[in-house]
Structure 1
Amino acid sequence: MNKQIIEYIQSMAAEIHFSGSVFVKQGDKILADCSFGLANRSEMMTNVSDTKFGIASGSKLFTAIAICQLVEEGRVSYHSLLGDCLNLFFPHFSQEISIHQLLTHTSGIPDYFDEEVMEDYEELWINKPMYHVRGPEDLLPFFQNERMKHSPGSEFHYNNAGFILLGLIIEQVSGMSFTDYVEKNIFQRVGLDAGYFETDRLPSKTALGYIDQSDGSWKTNIFSLPAKGGPDGGAYTTACGMIQLWEALTEGRLLDKKTVQQLLTPHTMVDDSTAYGYGIWMKTENHAVTKYILMGYDPGVNFRAAFHKHSSLSISVCSNQSGGAFEMIKGIESEVMKEITS
């Protein structure tokens, strides 16, 4: 452990009233493993290093890995078309949508939660209660009959619905439910303490998510999210677990090295220095990747992980509040880089 880094994290956590866990590793050396705040405020149960947190869209990487596994097995290809591998009817969708486009948010399909149209994720559950959403097929009514947003492959538009379709493809091709497939072929394979838990039956050592109000009151997020996460997000794991997952991926324990390279390639540029691969963000300089990023936000959930390519620095931050992870990881990166360069 690095005393200076830990003291910085403790100071930062106090300053921003952070609730969650932080895990920092460089190469084989653990620099920090810290937890703060309460996993259950009513019962005064503290967050600890093996507390599991929701990671929202951070778990899109699991969906991408699952698709890549099926590609390795020859059961689908990145160029397979949606209509050829999913027996569902989408009356207004293009016939040219490919798995590659779904993975890279370039399919052009409408999203069930479009941040350009809707600001509050909780608005989704006004007409369809969240407790009915326990599988990817339950989200189809939100977008199945809508019109295309733009033509396939023409531009990047972050899209949760595309990953719902990827999850349905995984189910149809594998003959397993999406969550069963991921738990068996990813979590269990690397011994990851993770799962797609239902919000009304969370297991022990799992943090409740909290939404803090401006008047100082709070509520849990149980009525703000689908009852069970799926292909577009909503898995639970520990802060150290995401670094464990990253190491398993990059060491070739989930996919072969060529497939890992395909997953981590910057397939589409989002802006001058930000790219997207398969289920993962990347920072680039002079067209070369410098850092891989996972992020997730839901009401009462905030997650960030950063994997620096050249310094072997890995940071994972899980919060059971709606914010804090970005500020925490940005500060840690700055502090660690000072030590590296000093």
Structure 2
Amino acid sequence: MNLKNKVEDIIRKHYQAQAFSGSILVRDHEQFFASGYGFANRSEQISNTERTRFGMASGCKIFAAVAICQLVEQGKLTFDTYLKDCVGVSFQQFHDDITIHQLLTHTSGAPDYFDEEIMDDFEELWVATPMYSIQCPGDFLPMFKDQPMKFNPGEKFSYSNAGFILLGLIVEQVTGTPFTQYVEENIFRVSGMDDSGYYRLDQLPARTALGYIDDEENQSWKTNIYSVPIKGGPDGGAFTTVRDLEKFWNALTQHQLMGEKVTKQMLTPHVHSNDQVYYGYGVWMLKREDKVFKYLVFGSDPGVRLRSTYYTKSKAQAHILANVDVGLLPIAKSIDEMVDSEQVRNG
């Protein structure tokens, strides 16, 4: 069975009750497959393709990490630089010893505006803070800057959206450039990601999928325009395509974005999350036999799903973007199995 048939067999097997809508790209050795499924726009019956742009949710935290690593390589920061020394904002209850390394690895202990350990409804945030008012990193500050620390810096791993907002503020303070502009100019353009950007939800370009939230009970749906910030930033909300994700991983691993030394530091498993899962700088890692099997970024917002994977040994890649609330793990696990079998055959 060829790669196309394998992937489409996975989709048929796992998405009977709720249809998959999105794009998939898999490149493994000489095999390549990319295709779209479902609709980018249901009302107009516009189909998704491999060149459709989708929201990335938290998957784009890796861009904030790359931006910081670039500034470290340029000598403008170090990973041990303290937050208090590079952001001109008063955080009265924050610990003085929070470092950039801790922000990058979710070990800072800083309070979060959306703490995923105790909250699960992202839409609730916009009841008190209108989503259309969130347009840059600084707009998030009133939601967490006066809150107490969760724990002492470096004490443990605790996934933090606010930590990456702070990293975005650092990029802005050091470069004098809006965070989204910095990423678009120094990461997207350098990588050849011409179909990626931080688009406003009320100014989406052509070939951009709307995010859909389905109400199975009432047999209805709505778009996610009132469910996420109007413009993305350091912790989530960029738009990309499966083709552009492949270009990004190529640029990162081939040291086009920064040199080998800093890239290696970014892709080091700095902190243990659970089981065989570790975290580097803005990127998850799965270990097997004490070696990194794959690098992974994933994201989930209302009407947005992403899993983007780079397999370290084979250099294979698998990217899944969706504009509906469906789990992507069944596809991802099946692709893992395919890549495993290919690696065994190819030594």
TM-score, with length taken from structure 2 = 0.95
Quote the residue 1:244 is aligned against: 247
CA distance in structure 1 between the partners assigned to 2:184 and 2:87 by the alignment = 22
Q: How far 1:327 sits from its partner (Å)?
A: 2.0
Q: The residue matched to 1:24 in structure 2 has which SS?
A: strand
Query: Please, which moves more after superposition, 308-317 or 221-230?
Result: 308-317
Task: Classify the secondary structure of the residue corresponding to 1:295.
Answer: strand
Look up the equivalent residue of 2:286 and give its one-letter code: K
Whole-angstrom CA distance in 2 between matches of 1:236 and 1:213: 24
Q: Which range moves more in the overlay, 86-95 or 113-122? A: 113-122
Residues 5 and 335 of structure 1 are in contact (CA less than 8 Å); yes or no, is this contact kept in structure 2?
no
Match of 1:9, SS?
A: helix
Return 5+ residue gaps in structure 1 as ranges: none
Identity %: 47
Number of equivalent positions? 339
- Which residue of 1 is the match for residue 26 of structure 2? 24
Deviations 1:206-229 (A, max 9, x none): 100011112221110001000000
- The answer to whether the 8 Å contact 1:93/1:109 transfers is yes
Partners of 1:169 and 1:336 lie apart in 2 by: 38
Would you say the 8 A contact 1:134–1:226 is kept in 2? Answer: yes
| 1:195 paired residue number | 197
Partner residue, 1:7 = 5
> After TM superposition, which residue ranges in structure 1, 4 or more long, deviate above 3 angstroms?
335-342
Tell me whether 1:148 sits opposite 2:116 in the alignment. no
Write the letter of the residue equivalent to 2:335.
I
Q: Distance in 2 between matches of 1:32 and 1:318?
A: 14
| 1:305 paired to 2:303 | no
Specify the alignment match of 1:253 in structure 2: 256
Contact conserved, 2:28 with 2:339, CA < 8 A, in 1?
Answer: no
SS, match of residue 22 in structure 1: strand
User: What does residue 263 of structure 1 align with?
Assistant: 266
Distance 2:309 2:23 in 1: 14
Cα distance in 2 for residues equivalent to 1:188 and 1:309:
24
Cα distance in 2 for residues equivalent to 1:279 and 1:30: 29
Q: Which residue of 1 aligns with 2:37?
A: 36
Asked if 2 retains the 8 angstrom alpha-carbon contact of 1:5 and 1:336, the reply is no
User: Deviation digits for residues 64-84 of structure 1, max 9, x if unmatched?
Assistant: 000001011111110000000
Equivalent residue of 2:310, what SS?
A: strand
- Contact kept, 8 Å, 1:178 with 1:230, in 2: the verdict is yes
Contact kept, 8 Å, 1:19 with 1:37, in 2: the verdict is yes
Deviation digits for residues 288-325 of structure 1 (CA, Å, limit 9, x no counterpart) = 21111110000000000121111222100000112242
**Which amino acid is the alignment partner of residue 157 of structure 1?**
S
